[in-house]
A and B are shown apart, each in its own frame.
Chain A
Amino acid sequence: MQNIYFPLDWFFITLIFFSGAYCMIVSKNIIKLLIGFEIISKASIIAIITSGYLISNINLAQSIIIVMILVEAVVIATGLALVVKSYRINKTIDITKLSNMKG
């Protein structure tokens, strides 16, 4: 009986993933890119919890996503720190303006 929701869940996971990916592709603002990254990582968290539900071992999935949320917080903090440092140096948060290095 558990199996019937699995394809539907993955339909929504794909939808969330691609909306986040679309956000990351079209936007030029680095903050918006980070928001898109957050959305696709939410899709991956839902994927893990769905798999845990499918194998009826929700404890494993929950412990995994708690660690993932922790990792994600650290990653986003790193990203925001990069944005702040980049803004101090380049006075812009437009990612297309960052093209000093060519070779």
Chain B
Amino acid sequence: MVIDLLSYSLIPMFSSLALPFFAKKNIRIAIILANVALLSGFINISYLIINSITKPDIIPIIDPLTVFLIFTIYTVALAISFFSTYYGIEKEANPISYYSLILLSVSAMTSLVMVRDLFSLYLFVEILAVCSFALITSDIKSNSIEAAIKYFFLTFPASILIILGISLVLASQKALDFEIISVSTNIMTMIGLSFVIIGFLIKSGVVPFHFWTLDVYQGASSPISAYLAGIITKIGGIYAIIKISIIMKYYPVETISSILLFTSILTILIGAFGAIAQKDMKRMLAYSSISQMGYILAGVSTFSSTGIIAAVFHLFNHATFKTVLFLNSACIEKQTGTTNMTELKGLEKKMPITSWTSIIASMSTAGIPPLSGFWSKILVIIALWQVGYIKSAIIAIIASIITLGYFVLMQRKVFFGKLAEKLTEIKEVESPLLLPVIIMSLMIILAGIYVTYIYSYLEKIM
């Protein structure tokens, strides 16, 4: 563990433990405690990260990857927590357990990005999975329980695969620390790490195992789907693969690289083609999320420094734009009562800010130049080209065009055109609900403009 950053994990944990006792009489205390704990952590980590970007000589960075991911986690968690406060989560779930679980999952995620050995990685992934179960099923609807059962019977057998891999690594290396594993290469360790990678691939929902993500994102309550799609499944699945690929830089990785590349291309294509045909907005966003997962995995599959930088940057971008899109769908669901795209039409005149933030986020997803999604996608494609996967790079470019296509289609169905007759009474949501969305859209634009600073920061992670 990185001891210097431990408070980012401990403060949410203690807050989540204390919250049920303090908030027994008054729910407002739960809301205030959760938001204040996350806000203070967010301000601290932004101060740290901005200082280390602008003055790299004065403040040395302890562990750039960990700091960057903690920043991402706190950004999304604060947005979700603030959004849920005004969304009226108490109609759908018990607010005390909801905020407590949000804080506990933040603690698990920050611990997960801080760990330095394989078994702790497994342990915090399991804690995160249990937290996400409780979050998915905190909703009263029956759909979410069905989704949770599907998730259960895919994710925990994958954990068993991870443990089998860990036991092979333990037998060959006599220890599980990342430093020890990364220097002494060994064929049995290689097999063990492949088991671990396959387990995390199942957990992160790439294509042969992607069905649970669709059901979970559609079935869960809207802020929870934003939280799951934005950060939990990314940190709990793809981050571990990124970390292991950083460990394996001295290993002969051709076979694993080709397997990961094949999986990622399949994921990109099936996610993109699946998204075109969807009628439900949340299910379409879930397909889009799967497709973006493929881009992150394609960056990892090169095992080069450019690819890993691209993967981390795309993970951050995915966290921002997918959270914005899911929160927009939550706003639409709150105002109109549906996310079915055939019933929605012409919402732009009634909900202009939601419409514009949705345009920014979806253009960033599709990779339109000034926005941040363009830079991470072009980095993924450059990384693929550099190691010689030219056909895959071309497929990634084509899939990016398809992404643009289905987002334009969604925008046209939901926001543009003539207003549907049923929706004449619709108003824009209250301004507190728009605040996290607007701030994250600004982050997308700023990350696109100041991309050189972010790139020079991320170069230090290797």
Chain A interfacial positions (CB closer than 8 Å to B): 6, 17, 21, 24, 30, 33, 37, 40-41, 43-45, 47-48, 50-52, 54-55, 57, 60-61, 64, 67-68, 71, 74-75, 78-79, 82-83, 85-86, 89-90, 95, 98, 100-101, 103
Q: A47-B164, A75-B156 are in contact. Are A54 and B145 (CB under 8 A)?
A: no
Contact, CB under 8 Å: A37 / B157: yes
- Quick one: closest A residue to B284, CB to CB? A103
Q: Does B93 contact A (CB under 8 A)?
A: no
Q: Is the interface of B mostly helix, strand, loop or mixed?
A: helix
> Mask for B144-170, Cβ within 8 A of A = 1, else 0?
011111101100110010011011101
Contact in complex: B152, A78 (CB < 8 Å): yes
A75 contacts across to B, CB distance below 8 A: 126, 129-130, 156
List A contacts of B150 (CB < 8 A).
98
The verdict on B218 contacting chain A, using a C-beta distance below 8 Å, is: yes
Question: Which positions 132-190 of chain B face chain A at CB distance < 8 Å?
Answer: 133-134, 137, 142-143, 145-150, 152-153, 156-157, 160, 163-164, 166-168, 170-171, 174
Name the residue of chain A whose CB is nearest to the CB of B155.
Answer: A75
| Nearest 5 interchain pairs by C-beta | A51-B171, A47-B167, A44-B163, A51-B170, A89-B142
Q: Are A37 and B174 in contact (CB under 8 A)?
A: no
Q: Which single residue of chain A is at the shortest CB-CB distance from B133?
A: A78
- The answer, yes or no, to whether B278 is at the interface (CB within 8 Å) is yes
Which chain B residues lie closer than 8 Å to A6 at the CB level? 171
Among A43, A52, A98, max chain B CB count under 10 A is at A98
B residues in contact (CB < 8 Å) with A? 119, 123, 126, 129-130, 133-134, 137, 142-143, 145-150, 152-153, 156-157, 160, 163-164, 166-168, 170-171, 174, 214-215, 218-219, 278-280, 283
Contacts A41-B160, A103-B214: A78 and B130 contacting too (C-beta < 8 A)?
yes
B160 touches A86 (CB 8 A): no
Residues of B within 8 A of A47 (CB): 163-164, 167-168
Picked from B134, B167, B214, B283, the residue with its CB within 8 Å of the CB of A50 is B167
Residues of A within 8 A of B219 (CB): 101
